[in-house]
């Protein structure tokens, strides 16, 4: 079911380089059910896509983003 949910959802890349996911209503029409398992999987990975912040050793009270290195 997970593979069907992920493969059954269409997407495209916009001119700005962002990924645009198809409207969920269209996916439901194609699969004849809601892709809830696929949604849960994608949301689980999306939560990790935020920038990682940490305090560097030797720096007091300064938060540094991983992209600064």
**Rounded to an integer, what distance in angstroms lies between the CA atom of residue 23 and that of residue 1?**
19
What are the tens digits of pLDDT across the range 38-65? 989 888 877 665 555 555 555 444 454 5
Token digits for 61? 């009270």
Domain locations in the chain as residue ranges: 2-68
Burial annotation 31-54 (CB, 10 A radius, 16+ → b, else e): beeebeebeeeeeeeeeeeeeeee
What are the tens digits of pLDDT across the range 6-50? 888 888 888 888 888 888 888 899 899 999 999 898 888 776 655
């Amino acid at each position: 079911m997970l593979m069907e949910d992920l493969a059954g959802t269409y997407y495209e890349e916009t001119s700005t380089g962002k990924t645009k996911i198809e409207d969920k209503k269209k996916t439901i029409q194609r699969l004849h059910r809601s892709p809830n398992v696929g949604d849960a999987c994608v949301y689980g990975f999306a939560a990790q896509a935020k920038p990682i912040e940490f305090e560097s050793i030797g720096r007091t009270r300064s938060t540094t983003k991983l992209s600064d290195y």
